[in-house]
Chain A
């Protein structure tokens, strides 16, 4: 029961993020609960020691992700925005893996074996310090998304102010 309550609470925090933009994911005020999948990812100082975000600077490949059950009613086209720093030697890619609800028994959406629908990929072409935005098409029946940030190469890569909605 406690675990369920905790999961519900976590999902709510991720979805609302503490921001006021009404986005499905709003990491502009708080650092969302990104989870490291691969490599060296730090969740802390970004452009300023007092501002927190995702810092993937360093060598090699690094991947971080967060899972969000989308809150209806959502649009078929959602917009991602982020403030970023990218060195030319580094590539940054966003992946949006959409899922439909599964039918297996389980306490949460992710326990019920959700059905993969489509994965949208957004490559970041900009270099330097910049704001980035792209529209992402949500597949029909899409009810949840795993957002991944994939960094390749050696150099500086920061992602902050991430919103999706």
Chain B
């Protein structure tokens, strides 16, 4: 874990340093980008549909074999709020919810849900005003850390009235790339991220499903 923490700190430091340099040299627009004014330079709020290819060790194969063909990826939603605290550098908080499941013969039900609460920094690697103050294209890289939760619920009223619940939670971190197009104040965003989160649930025969994985998002937001 130490080398991961070190990598996160170095990445963060590099982002801040690069943003500071960008700020100092922000005398004229870069890549056709209009110079930001005021502080914070901008706020963003996004809502995204998400697809999480959940990390697992044989979990989904085993569930399918025993009658529960749970699709992986999970569907989900991500809410993201950010403030551009330095030119190109945005501090953001994001919350995500993902879920998937399957039923067996219309009775047994297996569900997996997970949540993430993250705080992170997003840096605009490339930002270009196609039409000044009207249309902007942007490519951002981001890194974040926070808390992850996962829950499995299983019920089969033919076998038992009991609902079996398993939970897992842990700290974790994530990194990704977002491409966005802003027209006036409306943002269209597509993104990829990888979430590393040890939080997991396991079955009786060694299958493990985790809270993290590969994530694709597509969404809509505002920037003001």
List the interface of chain A (C-beta within 8 A of B): 18-20, 28-31, 45-52, 83, 85, 129-131, 156, 158, 160-161
Q: Tell me the complex Cα distance, A49–B204, Å.
A: 7
Given contacts A83-B66, A129-B58, A131-B65, contact A49 B105 (CB under 8 A): no
Given contacts A50-B154, A51-B108, contact A129 B160 (CB under 8 A): no
Q: Tell me the complex Cα distance, A70–B142, Å.
A: 64
Give chain B nearest CB distance to A71 CB in angstroms: 20
Q: Mark B98-111, 1 if CB is under 8 A from A, else 0.
A: 00000011011010
The reply to whether B65 and A52 form a contact with Cβ atoms under 8 Å apart is no
Out of B63, B67, B158, B160, name the residue touching A18 (CB < 8 Å): B158
The reply to whether B204 and A48 form a contact with Cβ atoms under 8 Å apart is yes
Given contacts A45-B204, A47-B204, A129-B205, contact A20 B105 (CB under 8 A): yes
Give chain A nearest CB distance to B107 CB in angstroms: 7
The 7 closest A-B pairs by CB, nearest first: A50-B164, A50-B154, A83-B66, A47-B66, A47-B205, A83-B65, A129-B62
Is B1 close to A, CB under 8 A? no
Give the chain A neighbours of B219 by CB distance below 8 A: none
List the interface of chain B (C-beta within 8 A of A): 58, 61-63, 65-67, 104-105, 107-108, 110, 154-156, 158-160, 162, 164, 203-205, 207
The reply to whether A52 and B159 form a contact with Cβ atoms under 8 Å apart is yes
Give chain A nearest CB distance to B63 CB in angstroms: 8
The reply to whether A47 and B207 form a contact with Cβ atoms under 8 Å apart is yes
Give the chain B neighbours of A50 by CB distance below 8 A: 154-156, 159-160, 162, 164
Q: Tell me the complex Cα distance, A158–B66, Å.
A: 11
Give the chain A neighbours of B162 by CB distance below 8 A: 50
Give chain B nearest CB distance to A119 CB in angstroms: 28
Give the chain B neighbours of A160 by CB distance below 8 A: 66-67
Q: Tell me the complex Cα distance, A73–B108, Å.
A: 30
Give chain A nearest CB distance to B164 CB in angstroms: 4
Q: Tell me the complex Cα distance, A31–B107, Å.
A: 14
The reply to whether B155 and A47 form a contact with Cβ atoms under 8 Å apart is no
Give the chain B neighbours of A161 by CB distance below 8 A: 66-67
Which of A20, A31, A49 gathers most chain B CB within 10 Å?
A: A49
Give the chain B neighbours of A31 by CB distance below 8 A: 159
The reply to whether B203 and A48 form a contact with Cβ atoms under 8 Å apart is yes
Give the chain A neighbours of B67 by CB distance below 8 A: 28, 83, 160-161
Give the chain A neighbours of B58 by CB distance below 8 A: 129
Give the chain B neighbours of A48 by CB distance below 8 A: 66, 110, 154, 164, 203-204
- 11 A-B pairs with CB atoms under 8 Å apart are A28-B67, A29-B104, A46-B204, A47-B63, A48-B110, A48-B164, A50-B160, A51-B66, A129-B65, A129-B205, A160-B67
